[in-house]
Amino acid sequence: MAAVAWLAYVWRFSSAALAGSQIGGLIVNGILNAIVVLLFADLLWQSSKALIAYRMDLAEHSGSTTDELARSGRLRTLLPIFRNTLAVFIGAIAVLTILSGLGVQIAPLIAGAGIFGVAIGFGSQTLVKDILSGVFYMLDDAFRVGEYIQSGSYKGTVESFSLRSVRLRHHRGPIFTVPFGELGAIQNLSRDWVIDKMTINVTYDSDVELARKLIKKIGQELAADPEFAADTLQPLKMQGVDSFGDFAIVLRLKLMTKPGVQFPIRRRAFVMIKKAFDENGIKIAVPTVHVEGSGETAAAAHQLQRETKKAEAALLAEGDAA
């Protein structure tokens, strides 16, 4: 405010000093007007940026219920895009205001910019497609920052957005920068719940009912474990016999958890199931090859092998004699 007051004073002084020169007064007034506009634009931008950063910080550290977490995730997704759009808008208005203060007719510039924008739009249809696709993804709330998504050959955790692309961090480390127009159908693997289905092969002489009871007991123990209790929605259980395979009975298992935590629970469950099956005489089936042969067959094969060797020796002897 002090700078604006001082500039206003200098503005009046300079106008009076250059009253005899119309061009000089116009230039000085235009420059001082540009300084005031830039100061005001910078004040507006810094205030908006600070407010957006404050709201993003609140969204990141507040909320405990599912609805509050969803709302905070959406805010952290949309606010960066709004910030970038606001920066472009403030910059464009400031430039037009400065040109108008310098005496430039901005109406033809706006019309020309419109025509130029149409030409650019025809020449950059892919860019326009990416931006519009991103807007509709945001309106549909298809994904948020921090969620794990998969689209075609791209998958990873959403780290950030721009006006035309999304950054995905793969679970092995690489970052994919994917334009919105190339995403297509999206699988969001971080919403609400996940059902994980598994199969275990046991031998045909195994007690299926005993296996069911053991798996149910293991599921209850995992659901009561403090490490997994908060993330387990439905404990591990056996759904029944899935099929009769060539070498095993296939048992089907089901587990319902929060997204992303089914993998450690599944690994712990497999270890516990293997131990329980070994203690109760239930064998996990693996494909094997069993070959049988009688004594007479083996003796005949051995005799045939000896006769073949004798015939080969006779042929060699005849060849040497010749």
Q: What is the pLDDT of residues 24-39, one digit of tens each?
A: 666 667 777 788 888 8
Q: How far is CA 87 from CA 36, 93, 283, 285, in A?
A: 18, 10, 66, 64
Query: What average pLDDT does the chain have?
Result: 80
pLDDT, tens digit (0-9, with 9 covering 90-100), for 140-171: 888 888 889 998 888 999 988 777 889 999 98
DSSP state of 182: G
Burial of 192 (0-12, 13-18, 19+ CB in 10 A): exposed
Provide the angle, in degrees to the nearest 10, between the axes of the packed helices 66-101 and 106-123: 130
Under a CB-based contact definition with an 8 Å cutoff, are residues 86 and 47 in contact? no
Tell me if the pTM is above 0.95: no
| pLDDT at residue 116 in the model | 65
Do 256 and 194 contact (CB within 8 A), yes or no?
Answer: yes
Give the single-character DSSP code of 231.
G
- For residue 303, what pLDDT band results from cuts at 50, 70 and 90? confident
Question: Does residue 305 have a pLDDT over 90?
Answer: no
Which tokens is 287 given?
Answer: 């494909």
Give me the mean pLDDT over the 101-114 stretch.
Answer: 71
pLDDT of residue 156: 92
Q: pLDDT tens, 236-295?
A: 999 889 889 888 899 999 999 998 888 999 999 999 999 999 999 899 888 877 666 555
What is the arrangement of strands in the sheet containing 249-257, beginning at the earlier edge strand? 194-202, 249-257, 232-244
* 318 pLDDT above the threshold of 60: yes
- Give the CA-trace dihedral at 281, 282, 287, 290, to 10 degrees: 40
pLDDT at 190 over 70: yes
Tell me which residue of 165, 205, 176, 185 sits closest to 84, measured CA to CA: 165
Q: Please name every residue paired with 201 in a beta bridge, in sequence order, or none if there are none.
A: 250
Label residue 93 by pLDDT band (50, 70, 90): confident
